[in-house]
């Protein structure tokens, strides 16, 4: 069975500039945004956590800044993004608040999703916002992103966000209703593909060349996004966005392409934690904590008897039993010095000990792999 926007717990939806911005008016497409916000509200009311990744910052500002040439230099794009992002955030905030929803702006770069510490912070912020009932609205932090740390396109950014938040589904709203065997605008024999089980070289060849001009997306970046998302255990859809209520349309069966989540997806990150990271320290735990870990629970500071080595927040550590047996590996939510101070204490004492309120778990079960 192919997924639908309500069949998961957590949905990331990526929205391109052309949907959000009326380029003739150089303003936000308020009616479309209102419909989208209504779709988001409807999903939320059914318990689906929704994260929006929205482009449009550059498109919203370039005209008013007189930047009308088809290709902008990086610094011109960054300047336009600085002006347009305020307008974009305002447009989303207004559309969502009309549905009694609170918008939260996050601007991320590639670094934030690759560096472990930033990754943990960004993920914790996103989870907290969702827990508070907010709608995170994410864009690339264009103004600080140098060429090396740029995503450059929000398709990939959205896929990394889906991976980071362990979303079940990612929907890329686009000007096309899915993947075709060839470009349907040029080739009348092009056939629509409703479901992609696995991204093979044949599928990748269907991505074609990136579109000319200033647009950063195109089918190619969508396939890159599909690879990232599906390997992280998240299904991805490419769907047509130029309708009033695109997510409702999908629920009602509008045509799209679903890329199914790779069955071994969720475990890929765990393999990464288990295998490819050298532990920088150890947490020695009592038998109660060892039992909790074996039952699939997180590691709380109360069960930690000793901390070995020097590590920072987000670094990989090994979890050992008192007798020395290695039990698990995971990413520590606390630096070693802080871990030492909270070891043996209840989670509600963390704030009094450290002077700030960190995570309840010293290693969250999502960041933990049993050996």
Binding region for ligand GLU (CB under 6 A): 16-17, 55-59, 81, 139-140, 142, 153-154, 216-217
CB nearer to ligand GLU: give 48 or 157. Answer: 157
Residue 259: strand, helix, or coil: strand
Is 72:14 a contact under the CB 8 Å cutoff? no
Q: Minimum distance between the CB of residue 259 and ligand GLU, rounded to whole angstroms?
A: 19
CB nearer to ligand GLU: give 241 or 303. Answer: 241
CB nearer to ligand GLU: give 146 or 287. Answer: 146
Contacts of 34 (CB under 8 A, 6+ apart): 95, 98
DSSP H or E run through 246: helix 246-251
Q: Minimum distance between the CB of residue 339 and ligand GLU, rounded to whole angstroms?
A: 37
CB nearer to ligand GLU: give 79 or 273. Answer: 79
Q: Which residue has the tokens 């740029």?
A: 150
Closest chain position to ligand GLU (CB): 55
**Whole-angstrom Cα distance, residue 181 to residue 319?**
49
Q: Minimum distance between the CB of residue 56 and ligand GLU, rounded to whole angstroms?
A: 5
CB nearer to ligand GLU: give 58 or 199. Answer: 58
Q: Minimum distance between the CB of residue 35 and ligand GLU, rounded to whole angstroms?
A: 20
Closest CA to 369 of 270, 232, 293, 269: 270
**Whole-angstrom Cα distance, residue 162 to residue 195?**
19
**Whole-angstrom Cα distance, residue 284 to residue 265?**
30
Is 157:205 a contact under the CB 8 Å cutoff? no
CB nearer to ligand GLU: give 42 or 154. Answer: 154
Q: Minimum distance between the CB of residue 245 and ligand GLU, rounded to whole angstroms?
A: 22
Question: Looking at residue 261, what DSSP letter applies?
Answer: P
Closest CA to 172 of 251, 242, 239: 239
Q: Minimum distance between the CB of residue 40 and ligand GLU, rounded to whole angstroms?
A: 19
| Token pair for 371 | 């050996």
| β-sheet bridge partners, residue 281 | 309
**Whole-angstrom Cα distance, residue 323 to residue 325?**
6
CB nearer to ligand GLU: give 151 or 311. Answer: 151
Closest CA to 232 of 260, 205, 204: 260
Q: Minimum distance between the CB of residue 84 and ligand GLU, rounded to whole angstroms?
A: 6
């Amino acid at each position: 069975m192919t997924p639908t926007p309500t069949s998961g717990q957590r949905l990331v939806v990526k929205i391109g500039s052309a949907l959000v911005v009326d380029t003739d008016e150089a303003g936000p497409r308020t009616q479309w945004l209102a419909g989208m916000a209504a779709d988001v509200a409807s999903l939320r009311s059914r318990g689906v956590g929704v994260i929006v990744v929205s482009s449009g910052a550059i498109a919203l500002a370039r005209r008013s800044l007189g930047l009308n040439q088809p290709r902008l230099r990086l610094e011109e794009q960054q300047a336009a993004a600085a002006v347009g992002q305020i307008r974009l955030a305002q447009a989303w905030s207004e559309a969502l608040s009309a549905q009694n929803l609170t918008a939260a702006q996050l601007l991320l770069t590639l670094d934030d999703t690759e560096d472990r510490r930033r990754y943990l912070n960004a993920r914790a912020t996103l989870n907290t916002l969702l827990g508070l009932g907010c709608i995170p609205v994410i864009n690339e932090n264009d103004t600080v992103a140098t060429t090396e740390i740029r995503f450059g396109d929000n398709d990939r950014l959205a896929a990394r966000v889906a991976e980071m938040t362990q979303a079940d589904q990612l929907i890329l709203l686009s000007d096309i209703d899915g993947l075709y065997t060839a470009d349907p605008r040029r080739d009348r024999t092009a056939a629509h593909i409703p479901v992609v089980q696995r991204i093979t070289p044949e599928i990748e060849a269907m991505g074609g060349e990136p579109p000319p001009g200033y647009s950063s997306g195109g089918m190619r970046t969508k396939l890159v996004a599909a690879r990232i998302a599906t390997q992280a255990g998240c299904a991805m859809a490419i769907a047509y966005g130029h309708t009033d209520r695109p997510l409702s349309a999908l629920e009602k069966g509008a045509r799209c392409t679903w890329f199914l989540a790779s069955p071994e997806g969720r475990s890929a990150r765990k393999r990464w934690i288990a295998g490819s990271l050298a532990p920088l320290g150890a947490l020695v735990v009592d038998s109660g904590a060892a039992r909790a870990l074996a039952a699939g629970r997180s590691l709380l500071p109360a069960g930690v008897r000793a901390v070995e080595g020097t590590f920072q927040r987000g670094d990989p550590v090994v979890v050992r039993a008192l007798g020395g047996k290695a039990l698990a590996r995971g990413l520590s939510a606390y630096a070693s010095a802080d871990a030492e101070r909270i070891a043996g204490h209840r989670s509600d004492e963390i704030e009094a000990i450290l002077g700030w309120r960190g995570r309840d778990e010293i290693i969250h079960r999502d960041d933990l792999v049993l050996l």
